[in-house]
């Protein structure tokens, strides 16, 4: 068995192998490619042995999936291709798009990728190491005037200021990339929340590919927005039974920014409303989720409205640094807990849990006696009941940050208290962990409805608010009661579906191959 201190060395070996495979030139024979593939297989076996004995780094099962895919898609046609990538620099949009571009860069080593976003977003998210030399970041204006940072502290305020910079801001980034690489842009990939990038592609006469990082089924909303607004105005919280495959959705589940009427619209809300008209112009729309988990009627309806609908497996690229640096000591603590006994709590970084709800969560945890790991508590520790931390220290752990993907893959975790953000949902279904949902904004209400009524792998808090008694009831349901067994079993079934989806012969591999062909032949 490998020693624990071998891990870093083995990861470096794997990354070095990846770089070697990316450097194969167009004259490389099939025999050489086969030989390299064999070496990668051996590395995978050794690394899996380490994982098996040390219970770390669950991202590596995707190693062979992308190694095989990259070798199968090596092409001579990408030598002069230049893809401009526009990231939406807010929430959890940035990293899923970067993850996709890293996969494309691995598969198309002769193609240049210019990753364009704000300076702050690039500085905090763009990896510093192990980046292929065919990807480079470029900074554009965030739209916040000097001296007005206080006015932009609200998340939507920042979004509106950024959108006010218009396509001219994106154009500057594109021109910067072209001047630096001395290559004309041959394709544009952009977050779907930046529809103005379509007009840049139109002016350049190049393909426009839209990327969809929110909850996949929220895409349907933007094609039926007029009906939804009309129903919300006249019938209140009605069921949206006209949404194909999503008949359980209700008006209350919709992003509230879409339901603003009467002259109170913002630039952001108008941008969202426009998506149903702009997205059909995309050469392809790429969804960051598992096709196998989406309702077939929803998929069929979207395919009838779009030129091409592709799904990419939302697993981290091997070149993206993993979050398994356990600076908070989560894993030694989790290792001492019983299987499926721990409540993991995290609500992201965009919106904080209201203090009154943090108190309700703390009171429920204390009364229940359930072990808990609570992450990202910035600004809330002072709001907790007096003595809570001391009284629960033998079965509770509060940390400023936790490696969420790996935590949710740990056998001790039995339930996830979440805001239903897209990345958190992906982490949870991949780990087979049931969810207790408290949606805040955006597509999180849609995700909560999918979790509770479609996949049946969790529950949404009544009134979408944490109360002590409401949380006690839901914790007891999922972790203790026999009637919660269906939820627990469904979560494991969904996990197996996700594992099947990442296989080299799966639909996701075919879709990624299709995407590579689009950028390679444009």
Positions marked active-site? 93, 191
* Separation between Cα atoms, residue 190 and residue 314, nearest integer Å: 17
CA dihedral 165, 169, 171, 174 (to 10 degrees): -150
Q: Report the Cα 260 to chain-centroid distance in Å.
A: 26
Q: How many CB atoms lie within 10 A of CB 175?
A: 13
> In this structure, are residues 205 and 184 in contact, taking their beta carbons and an 8 Å threshold?
no
The answer for 176, left when phi > 0, alpha when psi is -120 to 50, beta otherwise, is alpha
The count of other CB atoms within 10 Å of the CB of residue 22 is 19
Measuring CA to CA, which residue among 199, 298, 252, 188 is closest to residue 448?
252
The Cα-based distances of 264 to 89, 195, 375, 419, 438 in angstroms read 24, 21, 36, 26, 26
The angle at the Cα of 240, spanning 234 to 245, to the nearest 5 degrees, equals: 165
CA distance 39 to 432: 31
Distance of alpha carbon 5 from alpha carbon 54, whole angstroms = 11
């Amino acid at each position: 068995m490998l020693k624990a201190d071998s891990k870093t060395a083995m990861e470096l070996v794997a990354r070095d192998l990846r770089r070697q495979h990316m450097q194969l030139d167009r004259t490389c024979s099939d025999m050489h490619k086969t030989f390299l593939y064999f070496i990668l297989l051996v590395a995978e076996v050794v690394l899996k042995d380490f994982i098996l004995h040390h219970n770390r780094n669950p991202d590596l099962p995707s190693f062979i999936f992308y190694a095989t895919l990259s070798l199968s898609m090596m092409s001579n046609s990408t030598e002069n291709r230049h893809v401009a990538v526009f990231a939406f620099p807010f929430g959890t949009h940035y990293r899923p798009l970067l993850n996709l571009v890293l996969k494309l860069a691995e598969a198309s080593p002769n193609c240049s990728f210019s990753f364009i976003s704000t300076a702050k977003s690039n500085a905090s998210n763009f990896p510093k190491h192990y980046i292929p030399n065919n990807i480079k970041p470029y900074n554009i204006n965030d739209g916040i005037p000097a001296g007005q940072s206080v006015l932009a502290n609200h998340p939507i305020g920042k979004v509106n200021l950024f959108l006010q910079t218009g396509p001219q801001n994106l154009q500057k980034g594109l021109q910067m990339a072209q001047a630096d690489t001395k290559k004309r842009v041959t394709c544009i990939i952009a977050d779907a929340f930046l529809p103005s990038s379509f007009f840049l592609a139109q002016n350049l006469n190049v393909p426009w590919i839209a990327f969809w990082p929110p909850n996949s089924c929220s895409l349907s909303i933007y094609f039926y927005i007029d009906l939804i607004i009309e129903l919300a105005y006249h019938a209140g919280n009605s069921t949206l039974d006209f949404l194909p495959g999503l008949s359980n959705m209700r008006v209350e589940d919709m992003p509230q920014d879409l339901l603003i009427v009467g002259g109170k619209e913002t630039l952001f809300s108008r941008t969202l409303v426009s998506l149903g008209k702009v997205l059909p112009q995309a050469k392809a729309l790429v969804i960051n989720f598992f096709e196998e988990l989406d309702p077939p009627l929803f998929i069929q309806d979207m395919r009838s409205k779009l030129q091409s609908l592709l799904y990419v497996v939302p697993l981290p690229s091997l070149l993206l640094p993993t979050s398994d640096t356990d600076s908070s000591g989560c894993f030694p603590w989790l290792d001492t807990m019983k299987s499926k006994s721990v409540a993991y709590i995290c609500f992201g970084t965009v919106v904080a849990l209201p203090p009154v709800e943090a108190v309700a969560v703390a009171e429920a945890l204390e009364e229940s006696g359930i072990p808990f790991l609570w992450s990202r508590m910035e600004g809330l520790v002072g709001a907790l009941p007096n003595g809570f931390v001391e009284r629960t220290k033998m079965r509770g752990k509060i940390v400023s940050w936790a490696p969420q993907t790996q935590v949710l893959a740990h056998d001790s975790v039995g339930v996830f208290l979440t805001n239903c953000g897209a990345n958190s949902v992906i982490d949870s279904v991949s780990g087979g962990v049931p969810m207790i949902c408290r949606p805040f904004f955006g597509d999180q209400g849609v995700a909560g409805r999918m979790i509770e009524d479609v996949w049946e792998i969790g529950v949404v808090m009544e009134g979408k608010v944490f109360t002590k008694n409401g949380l006690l009831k839901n914790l007891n349901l999922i972790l203790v009661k026999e009637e919660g067994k269906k939820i627990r079993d469904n979560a494991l079934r969904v996990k197996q579906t996700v594992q099947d989806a990442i296989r080299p012969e799966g639909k996701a591999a075919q879709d990624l191959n299709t995407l590579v062909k689009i950028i390679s032949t444009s």
